[in-house]
Amino acid sequence: MRQRQHSLLLLSIPALLLGAISCTTHEGDNYYSGGGAGSEGPPGKTGADGQDGEDGLNGLDAVGGQDGKDGKDGRDGRDGLPGQDGDDWTSGATGGSGGEPLPEEYPSNLPACDSIVPLEDLEFDLFGEDGHAFYFEVTPEMRQAQDNQVCDNGPGQGPVYELGSGEESCPPSAFNVRVVPAGSAVCADTGKVELDLPGQSSWRPWSEIPNFKLDVGQFIDQKFASGDKTLRMNNGQADSTIVREATALAIWRAMDYPAPKTRFVKTQSNVWDYDYEPGVFAAHVMVQPYKKAFFASELPEITSAWEGQGNPFSGWSDLECEWSKPKDCEDSKLRDIVQVVSEAPQGEGFMAATEGVIDWPMLHKNQCLSALTGTGDDWIHNSNNVVIALNTDGKIIYLPYSTDISGGHPWYPTTPYDAYSGYYGGYGGYYGPGGSDIQLPAACAQDSECRTLALDTCDEMIDQFEALDVVPTIVEERCDTLDDTGLRRPADDDVCDSLEDFYSDRPGELREEIAYLRETGGGFGGAGPTPDGSGGAIGSGGAIGIPID
């Protein structure tokens, strides 16, 4: 494999500081020095009991469901973040006891611009070029609230009342973001905007390069010239680096499946200037969220979109309205779709009975692309990162979301075509004909007409994938772009090399897998092979084990 020239970010940072959470990474991390040790975080909350299948979540009533599954135990609380050294009894800027009191402000070292214009007058292609820069300005009090996830806990999304006279913590905010287009001397200052640090396994505090969710229209009526108001900037810290998500979504789009646009961006902040040194910066992959700007340009026929986790066809889901043309998402229509699917005959005739509410051609493409790109933490394989969109024709489609766990990611090194939710020991399962836990791909596999169309679709998509010559046109292009923009980090080299290997081998592997399913009449056999290749569970197609190297 070719070796790329290193151009280090945060060159002289002496020590790696990672939060004590269950999934951490050394890939793509930038190093920061910390102060005194923080106090241990509180224990994680115990997972809530699962709801009864007939109750459904967020108003999406399940039909004829079994009792809900017990909630997972909460994760252990994270260790307190280190405060700065000092003798004062007051807590440090990010939480540890024994640190200095909060500074009055974080001095800003804003990127220089020849001229500053209103955000909507800043003429640049937001998702047309890599290397745009974003400088986030927050107060010490807000940084502390963001690090402590004050606005992300409890049904009220933060406290109703707060002590002291400081700024309100929720929604979390930056008092300004300077936006500098790549190669431009003209920039924009946004003024106060919403700035959250979202994430699950990839969540990090300010000191460890967090994810950013930026909403420029929360406090001021403004938007980018592209029409976007909300942006997601992902850190790649879940053993991913920022390359995996960018590569996977580029492949989905190149395969003519609607998916978010992405670009690599430079991120800076007065927080990092204060903690380390002026001018320090990180790199993120900027992802277009499923909001008005996306649907207007990519899927104008969509009327409602829900995002979350779970499976509404199994009696449990946690889906929130992400976007809708009407005032609110059309929950009643989604409930009606669940009703139709639950009443459809299992086995032969399932697709015919549900083709009025499920866009089966799109679902077949989604399932194949998930297997081709190795996207394991999705609605098929893990009942997670679920995005359901409702079309004007009354049918639903699934959209890819949070594809950083892809391309042979160590958490999901294999993603067989038939590896449905529950295969990896997560949620879900399939109870067979008449059961209430309906996995749409699994139910399709028991209907010979649906199964044949699904496998035919995947064969055609593998041909299309090979014709794209993905390794040089997408993988190498995305990796070389990190060099071109000065955003590459040491860990990116290994991931880029591994992605080249994965996407070189994957179409041939999947073609053999599809042929095996045809030849054996495997149908739904639980989940295809187990992770060690020893074989699948016994289902309608018998015990099957697809040999995967």
Q: Any residues with CB less than 8 A from the CB of 467 and at least 6 apart, and which?
A: none
pLDDT for the residue 414: 87
Burial of 519 (0-12, 13-18, 19+ CB in 10 A): exposed
> Would 528 be classed as within a structural domain?
yes
**Which pLDDT score, from 0 to 100, does residue 181 have?**
98
Residue 507's alpha-carbon distances to 63, 236, 371, 377, 460, in angstroms, are: 38, 25, 9, 20, 11
Same domain, 228 and 335: no
User: How high is the pLDDT of residue 29?
Assistant: 32
Percentage of the residues of the chain whose pLDDT score is greater than 90: 66
In a domain, 254, yes or no: no
Residue 160 pLDDT? 58
> Does residue 159 lie within any of the structural domains?
no
| pLDDT tens digits, 271-319 | 999 999 999 999 999 999 999 999 999 999 999 999 999 999 998 899 9
Q: Tokens 């913590």 sit at which residue?
A: 169
On whether residue 26 sits in a domain, the answer given is: no
Both 321 and 190 in one domain: the answer is no
Helices (H), 377-447: 440-445
Residues 415 and 511 both lie in one domain:
yes
Q: Do the beta carbons of residue 291 and residue 322 sit within 8 Å?
A: yes
**Is 492 contained in some domain?**
yes
Average pLDDT over residues 437-454: 94
- Based on the fold, state whether residues 230 and 291 are members of the same structural domain: yes
Residue 530 pLDDT more than 80?
no
pLDDT digits (tens, 9 = 90+) for 178-233: 999 999 999 999 999 999 999 888 999 999 999 999 999 999 999 999 999 999 99
Residue 239 banded pLDDT, cuts 50, 70, 90: confident
* Spatial separation of the C-alpha atoms in residues 177 and 461, rounded to whole Å: 42
CA distance 338 to 317: 12
Global pTM? 0.78
Res. 323: pLDDT tops 80: yes
Residues 291 and 306 both lie in one domain:
no
Task: Classify strands 230-234 and 212-215 as parallel, antiparallel or unpaired.
Answer: antiparallel
Please check whether residues 393 and 471 belong to one and the same domain: yes
Can you give the pLDDT at residue 164? 61
pLDDT score for 168: 73
Q: Would residue 310 count as lying in a domain?
A: yes
* Structural domains counted in the chain: 2
Question: Do residues 313 and 443 share a domain?
Answer: yes
pLDDT the model gives residue 421: 54
pLDDT digits (tens, 9 = 90+) for 78-125: 444 444 343 333 333 444 334 578 999 999 999 999 999 999 999 999
Domain that holds residue 325: 302-537
268 shares its domain with 326: no
pLDDT at 166: 54
Pull the structure tokens for residue 542: 């018998």
Q: How far, in whole angstroms, is CA 232 from its chain's centroid?
A: 9
Enumerate long-range contacts of 298-304, CB under 8 Å, 24 or more apart. 298/258, 299/258, 299/389, 301/391, 301/392, 301/393, 302/389, 302/390, 302/391, 302/392, 303/330, 303/390, 303/391, 303/392, 304/329, 304/330, 304/333, 304/334, 304/389, 304/390
Q: In what order do the strands lie in the sheet with 396-398?
A: 316-324, 302-311, 386-391, 396-398
Of 295, 317, 347, the domain-final residue: 295
> 234: how many CB neighbours lie within 10 A of its CB?
24
Residues 204 and 285 occupy one common structural domain: yes
State the pLDDT at residue 304. 98
Give the pLDDT of residue 153: 61
Same domain (yes/no): 418, 447: yes
pLDDT of residue 169: 77
Alpha-carbon distances, residue 188 vs 286, 462, 476 (angstroms): 18, 44, 32
Secondary structure element (H or E) that encloses residue 409, with its range: none
Based on the fold, state whether residues 318 and 408 are members of the same structural domain: yes
Q: Is 41 inside a domain boundary?
A: no
Last residue of a domain, one of 249, 267, 295: 295
For 394-424, what is each residue's pLDDT tens digit?
999 999 999 999 999 999 998 999 976 555 4
Residues 222 and 351 in one domain: no
Residue 337 lies in a domain: yes
Q: Which pLDDT does position 547 carry in this prediction?
A: 39
- CA 440 to chain CA mean position, Å: 22
Q: What is the pLDDT of residue 444?
A: 96
The helix or strand, by DSSP H or E, that contains position 104, with its residue range, turns out to be none
